[in-house]
Chains A and B, each alone.
Chain A
Amino acid sequence: MQQLVEDLMSGSRRAAARLISLVENDAPLKRELLKEIFPHTGKAYVIGVTGAPGSGKSSLVDCLLQQMRADDLKIGVIGVDPTSPFSGGAILGDRIRMQEHALDRDIFIRSMGTRGSLGGLARATREAIQVLDAFGKDVVLIETVGVGQSEVDIVRTADSTMVVLTPAGGDSVQTIKAGIMEIADIFVINKADLPGAERTATEINMMLDMKESDQWRPPVLSAVSVRSEGIGAVWDCLKDHRRFMEESGRLMEIRRERVRRELTEQVEYLVKNRIWDQVKEQIELESLLEKIVLRREDPYSAAYELLEQINFYSEG
């Protein structure tokens, strides 16, 4: 394990790939690994790309990679695609649009299945970002699954979030609904050569006009990713947003918030595991379940009694 982390630090792509698998598979070593890696993280800037299926997220990422490489940045890409809730399998196809960059040593692309997570990211996306961060990537680009309206985990993970739309994506009420329309730092209307692009831009701007003025008003940009049009402006905008985040102190703020959430989640995870270990050790769960199924006991009292039996309440 130590070797793997050392190899990662010395630039081994194989080690990076192995480490991502280990955290993704919840390997017993995971906690230890993340602990080793943590001191080397915190340098990468994380950009999220989200939007409906087929809006052109992968193609846009492909174009952005070119721009970023021109600025001599080292980049990690995580492409997330849905895991089948039925078979547990997945087809991960985000790479198809990015294979041009497959042999660029300074770009590392990894596909992940959601594996049961519902917020648009994979379960272990955050851990995979840490691996790529420690690996020395300047920027980590996260492409979410094609989302609908409320899968907004990306905003808790990325430093800048880009929402990709296509022209004529519905009437103006769609733009004032909650969820994905609220999380954008930048809107990109892709496939802007199709009719309706200008109207879509107007509608988004009208929605933004209704909001109280903030320090950062999300710009609405147009692009045609298959012809690489408008990509320079998108990249400039991302850089502007990063500058804003850093200079206004927002970046420290959201990173602090993220740390707080991660710590809370870790504590909850440990507490939960500890309690369940005790419960499984001391209580015959199946017969209790049976009672509830037969309606002889209700689940609310059963939960309470269960915790009482392992002395959960008495210790305080």
Chain B
Amino acid sequence: MSSRKIRVLVAKPGLDGHDRGVKVVARGLRDAGMEVIYTGLHQTPQQVAETALQEDVDVVGLSILSGAHMTLAPRIKELLCENGMEDVLLLVGGIIPEGDREKLLSAGHADQVFTPGDPLDKITAYIFNQFQESTSS
């Protein structure tokens, strides 16, 4: 009878005010059957982590276009871990230079990075892959 759904928090941390991209992604995830929680703009890392906790999400997607990803992503990862949510998938999307992408991934500050040009299918397929075992059981 169990009917698990993948819950995703999509958040705009920091000071950038452009949310077209994140809304497109949110809609894509919705169409793939996920429950998507959107917080709105200008969230602090603390707000993002606390929301992830209360909403008990499986995935946190950060949309960052401001260039502050090397500060925001590690901070949010740290706060998620403090909350006992180290298992939550942390995805970063936005304007992320190739070099920074490598750094985020190798330091474990993000599980995956998506940039402009990545099709929506790639994001949903990535998420489904990560949860294949837990959702089919």
Q: Which residues of A are at the interface with B, using a C-beta cutoff of 8 A?
A: 13-14, 16-18, 20-21, 25-28, 83-84, 87-93, 95-97, 99, 102-103, 108-111, 113, 115
Contact = CB atoms under 8 A, between A and B. Distances in A.
Contacts of B7: 21
B38 A92 contact: yes
A122 to B, nearest CB: 10
B29 A110 contact: no
Interface of B: 1-5, 7, 26-27, 29-40, 43, 46-47, 50-51, 53-56, 83-85
Contacts of A103: 46-47, 50
A25 B54 CA distance: 16
Given A14-B53, A25-B5, A99-B51, A90 B31 contact: no
Where chain A touches its partner, the secondary structure class is mixed
Contacts of B33: 87-89
A93 B22 CA distance: 13
Contacts of A108: 54
B35 A26 contact: no
Given A89-B30, A99-B47, A26 B38 contact: no
Nearest to A113: B35
Nearest to B56: A17
Contact of A96 (B31, B35, B39): B39
B2 A25 contact: yes
Contacts of A102: 39, 46-47, 50-51, 54
Contacts of A99: 39-40, 43, 47, 51
Contacts of B50: 102-103
A65 to B, nearest CB: 14
Q: Which of A14, A16, A96, A102 lies at the interface centre, i.e. has the most chain B CB atoms within 10 A of its CB? A: A102
